[in-house]
Amino acid sequence: MQLQQLIRTLDTFWEREGCVIVQPYDMEMGAGTFHPSTFFGALGPKPSRVAYVQPSRRPTDGRYGENPLRMQRYYQYQVLLKPAPDDVQQRYLESLRACGLTLEDHDLRFVQDDWESPTLGAWGLGWEVWMDSLEVTQFTYFQQVGSLDLDPISCEITYGLERITMFAQGIADVYHLTYGPGATYGELHLPSEREGSAYNFEHADVELHQELFERYEKDAKRLLEADLLMPAYEQLLKCSHTFNLLDARGAISQSDRPRFILRIRTLAKGCAELYLERQHHEKR
């Protein structure tokens, strides 16, 4: 199964489960959790079912295209189910079967991993799903988002699309995967992976990004004041990615790190509160 077919298969599967299939958010972000459909979708009482692909940026994970499993930019397939159904583990396993995997042939394990995003003020309890010792999915019952307690509880399923395709195609190196007709993942992504790694680790302008962080943060605060939720949240996304980039450049010392994280988390909390306040008004 080609990677693009896998995406389509998951879309179809989760559509049948009642999910709205939304599109990737058009901004740089570290994970599908940052997509507004998850960040805001998990907040408040309103039920929500949504699924989407989210290209994810992890500047420090770049390996110049030389590691068959680690990349600075890759695809997550994200599902958010609120409230979490009782048989959510079974639904997830079904989705893997739909992708053409014969699960009985593998060693499948749910290994404790209490997921946390300190910048989003979000955490949950759950697992890494291991397939023959490779983590193919992150499975989390959210407990908090934007530093706020959640009720009802959402379940977040984050598939590593490349890794699952590797299983489906029996291929060991991500760059040799077939993405679509006549195109390998390497053809589409290897040059940008090499250049992206060089940029993240060597060439990104540290001073520029330090300044950008300050200005994005200031802007986010201003926009929150102005009651412009999505524009404020988008500035937060920019802050977050800028922070990750500075981190890859080695420009964030251990002592600065907690302060940077706290600054982003404060913005996240502001956005979460504003969102809930609006929900409250809408209900009235």
Partner 1 sequence: MRSAKDAQGSRLKAQGRTAVAFSLQPGALSKTADLLFEIGTEELPAAYLPDLIEQLGAETRALLEAHHLPFRTVQSFGTPRRLVLIARGLAGTQRKPGEEVRGPSKQVAYDGAGKPTKALVGFLRAQSGALGQVKIVASEKGEYVYLVKPPTAIPTATILPALLPQLVGKLRAPKTMRWDASGVRFARPIRWMFASYNSRHIRFCLAGATLFNPKSDQFFDEAKIGVEIRLGIWSGATTRIGRPQALREVRVASIPAYFQTIERAGLLLDQVERQRRIQQLVTREARRIGGIVAPEMLSHGLMEEVTFLTESPVALTGTFDSKYLALPREVLLASMAKYQRVFAIEARGKLLPRFVAILEGPPRKPAAVRQIIERILNARLADSLMFWTEDRRHLPLEQMAAALSGVTFHERIGSMADKAERVHTLSAVLEKAWQLSREEQKDLRRACQLAKADLVSTLVKEFPTLQGVIGKYYARHSREPQEVAEAIEEHYLPIGDRLPKTLIGSALAVLDKYDTLASYFAQGIVPTGDQDPFGLRRAAQGIVEVGWKVHRPLPLERFFGARSSTDPFRTAPQEERAATGERIRRYILERLYTFEWPKPAPSRDIIEAVLASPCDDLVDAMDRIVSLKRLDGDPRLLKAAKVIERTCNILKPAEPRKREVDPARFQEPLEQRLWALYSSKKEEIERLATGKSYAEATRLFGEVFYQPLHEFFDRVMVNVPDESLQQNRLALMQAINTLYTDRIADLSKLTVLQH
Residues in contact with partner 1 by the rule CB under 8 A: 63, 66-70, 83-84, 86, 89-90, 93, 103-112, 114, 124-125, 127, 131-134, 141, 143, 151-153, 167, 172, 253-255, 258
> Residue 131: which region, alpha, beta or left (left: phi > 0; alpha: psi -120 to 50)?
beta
| CB nearer partner 1, residue 26 or residue 151 | 151
| CB nearer partner 1, residue 24 or residue 83 | 83
In whole angstroms, the minimum distance from the beta carbon of 172 to partner 1 comes to 5
> Residue 142: which region, alpha, beta or left (left: phi > 0; alpha: psi -120 to 50)?
beta
| CB nearer partner 1, residue 4 or residue 89 | 89
In whole angstroms, the minimum distance from the beta carbon of 39 to partner 1 comes to 19
In whole angstroms, the minimum distance from the beta carbon of 257 to partner 1 comes to 9
| CB nearer partner 1, residue 94 or residue 195 | 94
Q: Which two tokens stand for residue 219?
A: 């802007």
Count of CA atoms in the C-beta half-sphere (13 A) of 105: 8
> Comparing C-alpha atoms, which of 276, 265, 283 is closest to residue 43?
276
In whole angstroms, the minimum distance from the beta carbon of 112 to partner 1 comes to 4
Q: What DSSP string describes 2-66?
A: -HHHHHHHHHHHHHHTT-EE-PPPSS--SSGGGSHHHHTTTSSS--EEEEEEEEEE-GGG--TT-
In whole angstroms, the minimum distance from the beta carbon of 134 to partner 1 comes to 5
Distance of CA 158 to the CA centre of its chain: 7
| CB nearer partner 1, residue 23 or residue 67 | 67
